[in-house]
A and B are shown apart, each in its own frame.
Chain A
């Protein structure tokens, strides 16, 4: 072939590489969600709104945890949308052993379950605690921090939809700047949630030096599953913060839930990364970078940003936040796009 121009290097690839069911990957690494035998930890008939990101995120996470533990799983739930829409008497959507106690105590309740399993010599039964951002970053924060510092054998999953949705869209400490909520109306000199507030729980979790912290998104199932699998392979306190859009609270179309989650990560506002013992160990590079406007525009909670020059200035400020994330987590590095 000396008289031929250099041949292109062949990369492993299948149409729909990032889809749920990439048939060309090893059976063991295929998505749980592609399986006809998936556990459907939350089954049909729940009362989540159309296009609920949290319902999806919770099934993704728990089905993965179910596979990772071979069904030896107990779930603890904080009060919130997830709890309310899955368990209104007389029907529950859960298909795993599940306990709801209070709004602010899920991490502690989970610690108790884990302690019971340990003392009974049933360590193969693993515990997942879950809550929304309010239940996690605000009211449950004390218990969460306690569970972290004791390094209890619990995976805590926060489904972050950036406000108190169950009570009617009030601000939480996970609400982003400028977002309109019922308690941060889009009026006055600083419309929406104000800049310079809020807390970054994944980073706070890392400060506890726990073995594993990760962010994930309903827009990237494979990444989410990989992180849950990884978390379930580790003993001790683990934290995964999953981005779950809320069509009702965000004023977005129900069918856009995954699209908006994707844009949140692709613009840099919600970086996908993981950390072990307080150190960032990896991040998921942005595949197709978009400006923050693309993420903000389909959401009515940000509609005020598109009305005047002040709004444009705020968008620029959000863009700077996104850019800072991109820099901090090295999200635009040039990588060979290896599927999965």
Chain B
């Protein structure tokens, strides 16, 4: 004790800090450990984006780093920020506090910034010497091409149509996804050295691969065959399919003629898009007929709301039986049975309309694929792939709408990335192993008191009158201030964001701060295992584990 001060009184007077000799860590029955949990947004993202990571860069105002982080998984942020149905936001823990973080708006902001500023993604410096053929220039094919290119492979896309983009052009109306944005992001991929051959319809995959000396092929031609139902009609010309109409919007010289009253049959997002497009094409009435209830519609609720706001009429619990000789649509009312499923009631009614657009889903054109040996067609007419996304034919991979999965642009982009990883591994004679998923950072893991109340930024919307008459983009983007604000609403669920709480709240000084970006360490010599750090960690990045005694 009184070594520094031999003159001071014995025992009563002590040298400062001498309690460091007392290792209180021996009291502990549980120890805190830092861990990284999986944020719900990342967990929900079909494209496998590390949303939290890029929001983190954005929170610091480092937008290019944020965008580069997005680009590690998704080559189309400006598109995805508009077209994605953002399951991330549905999973966002922030909704338990106020509203989910407006993730897609920030992503869109980053994507737009990148286009404006001409940012380019990093590409592997060395070439692998391998060549990969991608068939189809939709979101899945473009994504695969992009990722394969990043990995150093030479990529050629063969696209049957006259323009690249696939469903990004033919499935999503311009008022949701402006075409200049689509083109800009595709151009950026091409600028990385991806070869694109348009109007190149592949009939014989094996021959194409051999002729082009491709080492592997990713097949992503989507699902373009509209499903039809048999509706008796005296005038077949009155019945159109939504995909055809939307495609014609992109490729035809004149807008399709639908008439003043248009009936759209179906309850999915395409039905909504179709109805809203019909309004914009001048239809006085656009009526959606759906056989189940409003709640059961597969379309996203916010899109239904937007459609209703624009004057689209919704007839649910209704089926179309026939178009009679006078041209009237005979419809039957449905009712939910005890199990909650719609059943015919025998009550009929008629609707007057000029055209019927079917939006009942699409099938894959599997004709040319079925010829490839080993390729299996699953039920529903989609291509069977393994967990590595490879078909039964070695070196032939497939993804997007043509494999069993949810059909969204985001899923397609995710497929492209996964396929690229598997192809890359396969080309090296290896297997790609997805790293194990950490445990989920659910809302129960958070201590939300530390986050200030901050309702989400509402993206400005175009006025209704303009929405009913033009294809101008409905949603405006965020500007820098509100994008920053929005990024800062992220709770960083499950991952330390160096808030210093653990360092501050430890009654035993048993947390060592390692400095910016280096996070913290526990000093188990002194940690008594009280667990305050874990309880007060706002984002759930600490857990208590029993000591082995």
Complex: A in contact with B (CB within 8 Å): yes
Closest partner residue, chain A, to B447 (CB atom): A259
Complex CA distance for A14 and B17, rounded to whole angstroms: 36
Closest partner residue, chain B, to A220 (CB atom): B449
Partner of B488, one of A13, A20, A89: A13
Interface string of B478-505 (1 = CB under 8 A from A): 0001100100111110000111110111
Complex CA distance for A15 and B523, rounded to whole angstroms: 27
Cβ of B113 under 8 Å from chain A: no
Cβ of B513 under 8 Å from chain A: yes
Q: Which of A33, A44, A46, A253 is packed against the most chain B CB atoms within 10 Å?
A: A44
Shortest distance from the beta carbon of A100 to any chain B beta carbon, whole Å: 9
Contact residues, B1-36 vs A (CB, 8 A) = 1, 11-12, 14-24, 27
Q: A43 and B20: CB pair below 8 A?
A: yes
Cβ of A161 under 8 Å from chain B: no
Shortest distance from the beta carbon of A51 to any chain B beta carbon, whole Å: 4
Partner of B1, one of A5, A43, A90, A221: A90
Which residues of the other chain, B, contact A22 by a CB distance below 8 angstroms? 499
Contact residues, A162-190 vs B (CB, 8 A) = none
Q: A45 and B450: CB pair below 8 A?
A: no
Shortest distance from the beta carbon of A150 to any chain B beta carbon, whole Å: 28
Cβ of B462 under 8 Å from chain A: yes
Known A-B contacts A16-B538, A43-B509, A92-B15; the reply to A21 vs B526 at CB < 8 A is no
Interface string of A26-56 (1 = CB under 8 A from B): 0000010110100010111111101111011
Q: Which of B14, B27, B489, B526 is packed against the most chain A CB atoms within 10 Å?
A: B14
Which residues of the other chain, B, contact A259 by a CB distance below 8 angstroms? 447, 535-536
Shortest distance from the beta carbon of A295 to any chain B beta carbon, whole Å: 14
Which residues of the other chain, B, contact A10 by a CB distance below 8 angstroms? 457, 481-482, 485
Q: A40 and B509: CB pair below 8 A?
A: yes
Complex CA distance for A34 and B497, rounded to whole angstroms: 13
Q: A59 and B509: CB pair below 8 A?
A: yes
Known A-B contacts A13-B452, A43-B20, A93-B17; the reply to A21 vs B499 at CB < 8 A is yes
Which residues of the other chain, A, contact B21 by a CB distance below 8 angstroms? 45, 91
Contact residues, B428-464 vs A (CB, 8 A) = 447, 449-455, 457-458, 460-463
Known A-B contacts A3-B462, A8-B457, A255-B531; the reply to A44 vs B526 at CB < 8 A is yes
Q: A45 and B22: CB pair below 8 A?
A: yes
Known A-B contacts A45-B20, A258-B535; the reply to A89 vs B11 at CB < 8 A is yes
Chain A residues touching B, majority SS: loop
Q: A31 and B500: CB pair below 8 A?
A: yes
Q: B504 and A34: CB pair below 8 A?
A: yes
Which residues of the other chain, A, contact B489 by a CB distance below 8 angstroms? 13, 15
Which residues of the other chain, A, contact B130 by a CB distance below 8 angstroms? none
Q: B532 and A92: CB pair below 8 A?
A: no
Which residues of the other chain, B, contact A46 by a CB distance below 8 angstroms? 19, 22, 24, 508
> How many residue pairs at the A-B interface have CB separations less than 8 Å?
195
Q: A17 and B450: CB pair below 8 A?
A: yes
Which residues of the other chain, B, contact A70 by a CB distance below 8 angstroms? none
Q: B532 and A44: CB pair below 8 A?
A: no
Partner of B23, one of A33, A45, A52, A56: A45
Cβ of A309 under 8 Å from chain B: no
Cβ of A119 under 8 Å from chain B: no
Cβ of A11 under 8 Å from chain B: yes
Cβ of A282 under 8 Å from chain B: no
Cβ of B255 under 8 Å from chain A: no
Contact residues, B324-358 vs A (CB, 8 A) = none
Q: B531 and A48: CB pair below 8 A?
A: no
Closest partner residue, chain A, to B60 (CB atom): A23
Category for how many chain B residues contact A: 35 or more
Shortest distance from the beta carbon of A29 to any chain B beta carbon, whole Å: 14
Cβ of A330 under 8 Å from chain B: no
Q: B503 and A257: CB pair below 8 A?
A: no
Which residues of the other chain, A, contact B535 by a CB distance below 8 angstroms? 255-256, 258-259
Q: B461 and A5: CB pair below 8 A?
A: yes
Which residues of the other chain, B, contact A288 by a CB distance below 8 angstroms? 449
Q: B505 and A20: CB pair below 8 A?
A: yes
Shortest distance from the beta carbon of B491 to any chain A beta carbon, whole Å: 6
Cβ of A94 under 8 Å from chain B: yes
Contact residues, A80-111 vs B (CB, 8 A) = 86-87, 89-96
Q: A287 and B458: CB pair below 8 A?
A: no
Known A-B contacts A33-B503, A34-B504, A45-B19; the reply to A257 vs B449 at CB < 8 A is no
Q: Which of A18, A42, A45 is packed against the most chain B CB atoms within 10 Å?
A: A45
Which residues of the other chain, A, contact B14 by a CB distance below 8 angstroms? 87, 89-92
Q: A94 and B16: CB pair below 8 A?
A: yes
Q: A3 and B466: CB pair below 8 A?
A: yes
Q: A15 and B501: CB pair below 8 A?
A: no
Cβ of A146 under 8 Å from chain B: no
Closest partner residue, chain A, to B27 (CB atom): A50
Closest partner residue, chain B, to A36 (CB atom): B513
Interface string of B352-370 (1 = CB under 8 A from A): 0000000000000000000
Closest partner residue, chain A, to B500 (CB atom): A21
Q: Which of B481, B488, B529 is packed against the most chain A CB atoms within 10 Å?
A: B488
Q: A43 and B500: CB pair below 8 A?
A: no
Cβ of A308 under 8 Å from chain B: no
Complex CA distance for A337 and B113, rounded to whole angstroms: 31
Q: B501 and A21: CB pair below 8 A?
A: yes
Complex CA distance for A10 and B499, rounded to whole angstroms: 22
Cβ of B291 under 8 Å from chain A: no
Which residues of the other chain, A, contact B246 by a CB distance below 8 angstroms? none
Shortest distance from the beta carbon of A46 to any chain B beta carbon, whole Å: 6
Closest partner residue, chain B, to A244 (CB atom): B507
Q: B485 and A36: CB pair below 8 A?
A: no
Q: B501 and A19: CB pair below 8 A?
A: yes
Contact residues, B225-258 vs A (CB, 8 A) = none
Which residues of the other chain, B, contact A256 by a CB distance below 8 angstroms? 535
Q: A89 and B500: CB pair below 8 A?
A: no
Shortest distance from the beta carbon of B353 to any chain A beta carbon, whole Å: 32
Q: A255 and B460: CB pair below 8 A?
A: no
Q: B525 and A44: CB pair below 8 A?
A: yes
Interface string of A257-298 (1 = CB under 8 A from B): 111001000000000000000000000000110000000000
Which residues of the other chain, A, contact B11 by a CB distance below 8 angstroms? 89-90
Which residues of the other chain, A, contact B503 by a CB distance below 8 angstroms? 20-21, 33-34
Shortest distance from the beta carbon of B484 to any chain A beta carbon, whole Å: 8
Complex CA distance for A34 and B449, rounded to whole angstroms: 18
Known A-B contacts A16-B499, A31-B500, A259-B535; the reply to A91 vs B19 at CB < 8 A is yes
Contact residues, B502-549 vs A (CB, 8 A) = 503-510, 513, 515, 523, 525-526, 528-532, 534-536, 538-539, 544
Q: A16-B450, A21-B499, A255-B531 are in contact. List 16 more A-B contacts (CB 8 A).
A: A3-B463, A5-B461, A16-B538, A20-B500, A21-B501, A31-B504, A34-B504, A42-B509, A47-B24, A48-B508, A51-B530, A91-B18, A95-B16, A255-B535, A259-B535, A339-B452
Q: Can you list 13 A-B contacts with CB-CB less than 8 angstroms, sorted by A residue number? A: A1-B460, A5-B461, A15-B59, A15-B490, A16-B450, A20-B504, A31-B504, A89-B11, A91-B18, A91-B22, A92-B15, A221-B504, A255-B544
Interface residues of B (CB under 8 A from A): 1, 11-12, 14-24, 27, 59, 447, 449-455, 457-458, 460-463, 466, 476, 481-482, 485, 488-492, 497-501, 503-510, 513, 515, 523, 525-526, 528-532, 534-536, 538-539, 544
Interface residues of A (CB under 8 A from B): 1, 3-5, 7-8, 10-11, 13-23, 31, 33-34, 36, 40, 42-48, 50-53, 55-56, 59, 86-87, 89-96, 221, 247, 253-259, 262, 287-288, 337, 339
| For the complex of A and B, 5 pairs with smallest distance between CB atoms | A21-B500, A255-B531, A20-B504, A45-B19, A33-B504
